């Protein structure tokens, strides 16, 4: 087997193992709860032995733990996430639309923040120690310190209430009309997420760009008389972007969790606000499903980044031979 | 092997290649981190950060004693009234004095964040030292299990625990600590791996020094510098997380005066009474910027000291 393929397969295997353990944690978390769910559901009727045993069988509580886990996992793989205890409807129907809404938020945030922060980072490196570099580096350090809800509240303060009132401060998407007709509702939540993740990417890109610009091969290209824009596009940027891939993926993964607070802040109907509602109601099937979903996105984003890094970095590719 | 966490690497490229020269336990152990803190004060950003943090911590500590009203007293002025002689920053929805609540609302955020970070450091450093100094099999098991925790974004993990166990302050402190511990453990493990092969550790092993003594006496003193940076980073994130939990309604409960909670309680009335929201938002923002500026300064000093000694 070629060593590159072996490396990728190993990484894939590790990712699958992590996903499996994550599912064990989420399943196990509910098992750690004191009390018997059947007794909790039946209340006083639990005294009826036949009814109690029937319900236990229905919930598979009479099986050993590993079998319960197997049944639960099979349900998840086949798209059956259980029933919400708070509303009595299936978890899938409850969160289907919300998953799409959150994905929209994350995708918008990603396609804006990644190119924007790469541009800012590259320019800051190119114009090192200029006013632009100084401003963006102080700005990104400050932004990187702020919790996302603070960024969101500052945006609401400046654009949606006190200073000027040109944006909606809540983003209640109307499900009866197309999202594309109400994009203005997405501006502030997306901007919050962009400001939360962009500083990390631009900082790492600036650092790696500086390293690349000082490298021998960039010097060589310049000495050959290659025009500066070609040096940038052909030699500097492609190499400088490699470390940024990893960080971008980490930030994308972070976005999956970041939506929780941001959606709550803007009253945006996504999985984040659904998660908060479910935690408030202690609606465990919904909590489990969303936690598992977010963790899976996190693991898969990291996995993808690692594999892309293996594929694009010449050092890793050739070093194996 | 990355010795400094990903976050630090983002701050300082190449930071993991430049760590202080390890010293046998005892020798220089005190000087190194004192030097680094002193060295960090050469940077303007560290001093600005320090001034901000000291100012806000003082405000939070002294505030409750100088507050003009009780933070729980209602009817100081009509509900949602603007600034006046009686209530300098106006009142909130049930007539609490906003100024007094701001003065009293910092203690919980700062106290809980420090508690969570300290517990996280103890857990993380213990696991990291153990993983770094154990046989590869034990090391692998510990690190794989920590990877599983890392798959949950902090806020999701904390809320998962809150959903299961109900919200209480000790649970939140513990949950925040548990989400940070794996990241700290990675740094501690990486730094430990750099030290375990050194002659002075080998010598102690040969002399039959117990493992615990080697870990605490030889290895720990040599990894304090990256841990110092890690502490700063985790403290900044803890403040954000703890304040966010109160903002979401899972931290401090009404009628407590708490910055995160105040933001949530008053945000619906932001148009009529902006102070009750803006001032706590501003203070949390300043505090996290302050701690992060200090951390950035310390991690720069860490590299600087290294360059002075020419260590690699």
CA angle at B171 for the pair B166 and B173, rounded to the nearest 5°: 145
Q: Ramachandran region of residue B275, left (φ > 0), alpha (ψ -120 to 50) or beta?
A: alpha
Confidence (pTM): 0.87
Alpha-carbon distances of B25 from B204, B214, B312, rounded to whole Å: 10, 9, 19
Q: In chain A, what's the furthest Cα-to-Cα distance?
A: 89
CB contact under 8 A, A298 and B151: yes
Distance from CA of B172 to the nearest CA of A (A): 14
CA distance B303 to B287: 25
Give helix then strand counts, H and E, for chain A.
Answer: 14, 0
- Contacts made by residues A122-130, CB under 8 angstroms, sequence distance 24+: A122/A205, A122/A206, A122/A209, A122/A232, A122/A236, A122/A237, A122/A240, A124/A202, A124/A206, A125/A205, A125/A206, A125/A207, A125/A209, A125/A210, A125/A213, A125/A240, A126/A209, A126/A213, A126/A232, A128/A210
3-class SS at A219? helix
CB A78 within 8 A of CB A92: no
Contact predicate B98/B270, CB 8 Å: no
Neighbours of A306 (CB within 10 A): 19
pLDDT at B45: 85
Contacts of B277 in chain A (CB under 8 A): 153, 157
**CA gap B295, B176 in Å, rounded:** 20
Q: Which residue of B has its CA nearest to A244?
A: B10
Q: Which of A142, A290, A294 sits opposite B289 (nearest CB)?
A: A142
CA distances B243 to A256, B155, B262, Å, are 20, 11, 10
At residue B233, the pLDDT reads: 92
* DSSP-derived 3-state class of residue A81: coil
- Contact status of B4 with chain A (Cβ, < 8 Å): no
Averages of pLDDT over runs of 10 residues in chain B (312 residues) are 41 47 56 78 88 96 90 83 83 86 92 96 94 86 88 90 86 94 92 84 84 84 87 94 93 89 89 89 95 90 56 32
Q: Chain A residue with minimal CA distance to B291?
A: A145
CB B186 within 8 A of CB B139: no
- Dihedral pair phi/psi, residue A244, rounded to 5°: -70, -25
3-state secondary structure (DSSP) of residue B147: helix
- B242: closest chain A residue by CA: A147
Alpha carbon distance B237, A196 (integer Å) = 13
> Per the CB < 8 Å rule, is A260 touching B163?
no
Residues 175-234 of B with CB under 8 A from A: none
Cα–Cα dist B175/B159, whole Å: 9
8 Å CB contact of B267 and A282: no
Helix (H, G, I), strand (E, B) or coil at B223: coil
DSSP secondary structure string for all residues of B21-42: PP--SSTTHHHHHHHHHHHHTT
Beta carbons of B98 and B158 less than 8 angstroms apart: no
Of A186, A185, A306, residue with least CA distance to A253: A306
- Looking at the DSSP assignment, which residues form a beta bridge with residue B226? none
The predicted pLDDT at position B8 comes to: 44
Is the CB of B258 inside 8 Å of chain A's CB atoms? no
Is B105 within 8 Å of B95 (Cβ atoms)? Answer: no
Q: Distance (Å) from the C-alpha of residue B262 to the closest C-alpha of chain A?
A: 12
Half-sphere exposure in the Cβ direction for A260 (13 Å, CA): 31
Residues 6+ apart with CB under 8 A from A46: A38, A39, A52
Nearest-neighbour CA in chain B from A19: distance (Å): 8
Query: Residue B126: what pLDDT?
Result: 93
Tokens, residue B77: 């002025």
Tokens of B90: 């106006």
Q: Compute the distance between CA of residue A95 and CA of residue B35 in angstroms, rounded to an integer.
A: 54
- Residue ranges of chain A with per-residue pLDDT less than 70: 1, 32-43, 313-321
Task: Give the residue from chain B lying closest to A278, CA to CA.
Answer: B163
């Amino acid at each position: 087997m070629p060593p590159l393929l072996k490396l990728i397969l190993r990484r894939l295997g590790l990712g699958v193992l992590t996903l499996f353990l994550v599912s064990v944690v989420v399943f196990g978390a509910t098992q750690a709860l004191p009390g018997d769910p059947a007794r909790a559901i039946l209340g006083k009727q639990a005294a009826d032995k036949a009814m109690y045993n029937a319900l236990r069988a229905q919930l598979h509580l009479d099986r050993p733990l590993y079998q319960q886990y197997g049944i639960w996992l099979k349900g998840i793989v086949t798209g059956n996430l259980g029933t919400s205890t708070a509303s009595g409807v299936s978890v899938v129907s409850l969160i289907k639309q919300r998953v799409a809404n959150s994905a929209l938020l994350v995708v918008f945030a990603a396609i804006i923040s990644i190119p924007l922060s790469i541009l800012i980072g590259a320019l800051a490196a190119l114009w090192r120690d200029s006013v632009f570099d100084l401003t963006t580096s102080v700005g990104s350090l400050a932004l990187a310190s702020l919790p996302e809800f603070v960024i969101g509240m500052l945006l609401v303060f400046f654009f949606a209430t006190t200073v000027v009132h040109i944006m909606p401060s809540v983003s209640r998407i109307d499900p009866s009309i197309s999202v594309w007709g109400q994009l203005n509702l997405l501006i502030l939540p997306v901007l919050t997420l962009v400001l939360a993740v962009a500083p990390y990417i631009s900082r790492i890109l600036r650092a790696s760009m500086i390293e690349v610009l000082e490298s021998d091969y960039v010097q060589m290209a310049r000495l050959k008389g290659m025009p500066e824009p070609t040096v940038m596009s052909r030699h500097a940027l492609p190499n400088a972007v490699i470390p940024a891939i990893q960080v971008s993926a980490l930030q994308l993964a972070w976005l999956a969790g970041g939506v929780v607070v941001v959606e709550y802040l803007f009253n945006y109907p996504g999985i984040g606000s659904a998660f908060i509602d479910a935690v408030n109601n202690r609606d465990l099937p919904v909590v489990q499903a969303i936690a598992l979903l977010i963790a899976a996105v996190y693991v898969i984003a990291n996995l993808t980044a690692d594999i892309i890094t293996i594929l694009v970095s010449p050092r890793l590719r050739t070093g194996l031979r | 092997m990355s010795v400094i966490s990903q976050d630090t690497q983002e701050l300082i490229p190449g930071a993991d290649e430049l760590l202080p020269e390890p010293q046998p336990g005892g020798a220089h152990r005190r000087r190194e981190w004192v030097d680094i803190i002193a060295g960090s004060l050469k940077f303007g950003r560290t001093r600005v950060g320090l001034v901000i943090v000291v100012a806000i911590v003082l405000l939070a500590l002294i505030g409750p004693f100088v507050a003009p009203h009780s933070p729980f007293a209602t009817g100081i002025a009509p509900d949602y009234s603007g600034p006046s002689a009686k209530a300098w920053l106006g009142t909130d929805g049930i007539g609490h004095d906003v100024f007094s609540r701001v003065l009293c609302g910092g203690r919980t955020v700062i106290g809980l964040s420090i508690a969570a970070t300290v517990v996280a450091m103890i857990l993380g450093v213990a696991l990291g030292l153990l993983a770094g100094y154990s046989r590869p099999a034990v090391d692998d098991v510990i690190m794989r299990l920590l990877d599983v925790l890392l798959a949950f974004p902090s806020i999701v993990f904390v809320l998962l625990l809150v959903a299961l166990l109900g919200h209480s302050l000790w649970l939140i402190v513990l949950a925040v600590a548990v989400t940070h511990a794996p990241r700290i453990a990675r740094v501690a493990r990486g730094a430990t791996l750099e030290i375990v092969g050194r002659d002075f550790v080998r010598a102690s092993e040969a002399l039959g020094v117990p493992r615990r003594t080697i870990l605490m006496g030889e290895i720990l003193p040599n990894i304090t510098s990256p841990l110092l940076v890690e502490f700063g980073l985790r403290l900044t994130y803890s403040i954000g997380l703890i304040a966010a939990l109160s903002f979401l309604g899972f931290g401090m409960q009404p009628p407590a005066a708490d910055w995160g909670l105040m933001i949530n309680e008053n945000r619906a009335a932001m148009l009529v009474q902006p102070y009750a929201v803006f001032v706590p938002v501003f203070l949390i923002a300043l505090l996290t910027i302050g701690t992060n500026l200090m951390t950035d300064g310390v991690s720069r000093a860490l590299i600087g000291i290294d360059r002075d000694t020419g260590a690699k």
